[in-house]
Amino acid sequence: MLDFFTIFSKSGLVLWYYAFQDVKGNFTDPVNAFIKSVILQERGGSAAFIHGTVQMKYMQDNEFELIFVVGYQKILTLSYVDKLIDDVHRSFRDRYRQQLLDGTLAMLTADFDFKSTFAHLLKNAEHVTVLPKQMKGFSESKKSQKTIESLKIKKTEPTSKKNDRRNSEIEKPKAAEVIEPPKEEVNPDEIARRIEEFKRKKTPKATKTEKKQKKGKTGKQMRIWDQGGSAKDAAVLDYSNPNDTSSTNGHNGRANGGITEEERGWIQGSQHIQELVVENDSEAETAASPDVAPSNRKKSTGIFNLFSNLVGSKALSKDDLANVLKAMSEHLIGKNVAAEIAEKMCDSVSAKLEGKVLGTFETIASTVKQSLQESLVQILTPKRRVDILRDVLEAQRVSRPYVIAFCGVNGVGKSTNLAKISFWLMKNGFRVLIAACDTFRAGAVEQLRTHEARLNSLYPDGDQPKCRLYEKGYGKDAAHIAMQAINAAKEQGYDIVMIDTAGRMQDNEPLMRSLSKLVTVNSPDLVLFVGEALVGNEAVDQLQKFNQALADHSNMVNPHCIDGIVLTKFDTIDDKVGAAISMTYTTGQPIVFVGTGQSYPDLRSLNPKAVVNALLK
C-alpha cells in the first residue's frame, strides 16, 4: 500500500527506489519538496511530513550519509511503516556496506539490486499483525497481591505506624480543635465587643471629611489642567512663528527643513548598504565567563575522545550528543534565541549527527559545534534571491510602481526604517511615494511629513520632488488610502510606494483582519515584517500569528504572506543576536534589512557568518 520507498544519498544520487506501479514521476516531486522544507530548513527533529496527499516518513543514516524515505497516502494509517524503515535500513546497510564505504564512484557504478529483499521485508511487515493489548485479569494485577493492612492510609508520623490506638487519639483532639472556634462566637460579650470594633473601623472616614472641611476655610485653589484651556489662553498657547511654514511643525530656528551640516554629509556616503558587523571585541571579558562552562566540558570530552579515537572509530550515540547539545541549547538561549527554536535546532542537529562515525582527532563537541554552525548559517542565508533594486527596475520596465508594505507590532520602528529605506532608494535614483496608512496613532502623519521634508531637502531635484507623502488624515480606512496612493503613483510616475501601517498586537483580531484586507486588496510586491532585535520568545508568537492572519483572512488560494523581515534596533543588543535566528526559523523568509540606529545611513544588510560567529562565541 506504499506509494514509494527511496534510498538516496545526501549528495543527491538515488541508490534504489520502489515506486507503486513503477511510475517514476511519483516520487521525485514529493521527495524534493520534503528535502527543501525539512532538511534545508533544519526541521529534522520531527519524523513525518505531508506533501499534498502523500505522507512521508523518513530516517537518516549519518554513518553512510543516506536518507530513507517512505511515502503513502495520508488517509491510510499504516502501523508497520516505522518497523519497515528500520528493517530496510539495517538490511541495506549490511548488504552494501562495502560499496557505501568505497565512495562516490562505487555508489555510482554499483547495482543495488534490492527489489527482492525489499518485497520480502514488506511482506513480513504487512503480515505482522499487532495484537491489541490484552486486558489483564484481576489475579494478574498488582492489587490482588496487596494485603488489606497495606491498603490503609496512615499518617506520615513515624510513631503512628506502630500503634493504631495512638492514631485514634491523635485524630480526636484535632476534631475537637475544629469544633472549638465556633463555640466561642456564641458568647454574647464577644458579639458586643466585635460590633464595637466594626463601628470603629467605619469612623476613620468621618475623621477624614472633618479634616477636609477644616482646610477648605483657606479658599479653594483653582486647578490648572495641562491639556485643557479656553480661548482666553490662546495667546499663551500660540507657538507658531509667523515666518515658519507649516511643514516645520513649529520647530523654530532651523533653516533648510531642519537638516544640519552633518546630516547633509549623508548624501556623500556610498550607495551600498554595508554589511553588518557584529561587535565582539568589547564583550570579550564578559563573554569569557559563560564560555568557561562549555569549554571545560569540551576539554574533558576532548581529551577522553582523543585517546578513544586513536584506538578505533567511534559512532556517536544519542546520549553522547545529548549532553553537548543541552549545553549548546542553553548557550543559544542565553544569546536571546527563543527557547523552542533553540530546542528544535538542537533536535535537528542531533538527527543529523546520530550514528555518525567520528574521524581521528575529532571531538564530539567540535563536531557538534561545527554542525550547529553550518545549520545556523544555512538558516540565515536566504533561500531565494533578495535584490530589491533589480525588482524595482523590473517593475519600472512594465511601468507600474513597486509597492512595499510594512507591518509589525507597536513601537518596533516601522516609520523610522521606512524613512531609512526611502533614503537608500532615493540615493539609487528612484522616486518614492510614502503612503500614510497609519490613520490611528497621533502624530503618525506628521512624523512622515517631517521625514518627507528632510528627504526632499537632502535630494532636491528641481520642481518634481523625489519623495512625496500621500496622506488622507486620521480615522480613514487604511486599505482605501493605500489603493489611492498606488493609483496616484502610477499616474505621476513614482517608482516605489512605501505603505506605513499602524502597529498592532498579534492577537488583536479586528486589526489583523484589517491588515489582511490591506494586503489582499492592494497586492503589494513585498510585505515586510518589522521586528526588533530586543524581542525574545515573543518573536515566534508575533510572526506565527501575523502569518496566520494574513493567510486566513485573505480568502485567496495562494495568500500573500510575509516576504521578508526587517530587524531593527540592532545597535542595542551587543552580541545577543538570537532574535535573527528565531525570526528566520519561524517564517523561512530572509532578513532583508537590519536597522542599526535612528539616522538615515544606519541601514545594513545581513551577514550570516558574522552573526553566527557572534552567536556561537
Q: Which residues bind another protein (CB under 8 A)?
A: 6, 8-14, 17, 24, 28, 31-32, 35-36, 39-40, 65, 103-105, 108-109, 268-275, 277, 374, 377-379, 381-385, 387-390, 393, 428, 605
Contact 530, 412 (CB under 8 A): yes
Other beta carbons within 10 angstroms of residue 308's beta carbon come to 12
Establish how many alpha carbons lie within 13 A of residue 552's alpha carbon, considering only the half-sphere containing its beta carbon: 11
Min CB(575)–another protein separation in Å: 16
Q: Which is nearer to another protein, 139 or 270 (CB)?
A: 270
Min CB(114)–another protein separation in Å: 14
Of 343, 314, 304, the C-alpha closest to 326 is 343
Min CB(23)–another protein separation in Å: 13
Q: Which residue has the cell 553522547?
A: 320
Side chain identity at residue 2, one-letter code: L
Query: How far is it, in rounded angstroms, from Cα 531 to Cα 475?
Result: 25
Q: Which is nearer to another protein, 36 or 194 (CB)?
A: 36
Min CB(274)–another protein separation in Å: 4
Min CB(39)–another protein separation in Å: 6
Min CB(129)–another protein separation in Å: 34
Query: How far is it, in rounded angstroms, from Cα 142 to Cα 150?
Result: 12
Q: Which residue has the cell 521525485?
A: 28
Min CB(360)–another protein separation in Å: 20
Q: Which residue has the cell 493504631?
A: 164
Query: How far is it, in rounded angstroms, from Cα 401 to Cα 391?
Result: 11
Min CB(406)–another protein separation in Å: 19
Name residues whose C-beta falls within 8 Å of residue 597's C-beta, 6 or more positions apart in sequence.
571
Q: Which residue has the cell 518497523?
A: 83
Query: How far is it, in rounded angstroms, from Cα 3 to Cα 19?
Result: 6
For the chain, the residue count is 617
Q: Which is nearer to another protein, 270 or 399 (CB)?
A: 270
Q: Which is nearer to another protein, 441 or 609 (CB)?
A: 609
Query: How far is it, in rounded angstroms, from Cα 332 to Cα 583?
Result: 14
Min CB(421)–another protein separation in Å: 13
Beta-bridged to residue 380, according to DSSP, are none
Min CB(71)–another protein separation in Å: 13
Q: Which residue has the cell 527563543?
A: 338
- Residue 18 backbone dihedrals phi, psi, to 5 degrees: -125, 125
Q: Which residue has the cell 542595542?
A: 572
Q: Which is nearer to another protein, 28 or 537 (CB)?
A: 28
Q: Which is nearer to another protein, 83 or 383 (CB)?
A: 383
Q: Which is nearer to another protein, 107 or 346 (CB)?
A: 107
Q: Which is nearer to another protein, 87 or 602 (CB)?
A: 602
Query: How far is it, in rounded angstroms, from Cα 528 to Cα 407?
Result: 6
Cell, residue 289: 565567563
Query: How far is it, in rounded angstroms, from Cα 290 to Cα 227?
Result: 51
Contact 379, 354 (CB under 8 A): no
Q: Which is nearer to another protein, 6 or 568 (CB)?
A: 6
* Three-state secondary structure call for residue 315: strand
To the nearest 10°, report the CA torsion of 460, 464, 467, 469: 130
Q: Which residue has the cell 536571546?
A: 336
Min CB(333)–another protein separation in Å: 24
- Left (φ > 0), alpha (ψ -120 to 50) or beta: where does 14 sit? beta
Q: Which is nearer to another protein, 351 or 409 (CB)?
A: 351
Q: Which is nearer to another protein, 269 or 411 (CB)?
A: 269
Of 387, 337, 288, the C-alpha closest to 611 is 337
Q: Which is nearer to another protein, 83 or 609 (CB)?
A: 609
Q: Which is nearer to another protein, 440 or 459 (CB)?
A: 459
Beta-bridged to residue 72, according to DSSP, are 55
Query: How far is it, in rounded angstroms, from Cα 550 to Cα 284?
Result: 42
Min CB(373)–another protein separation in Å: 9
Min CB(89)–another protein separation in Å: 18
Of 574, 566, 599, the C-alpha closest to 498 is 566
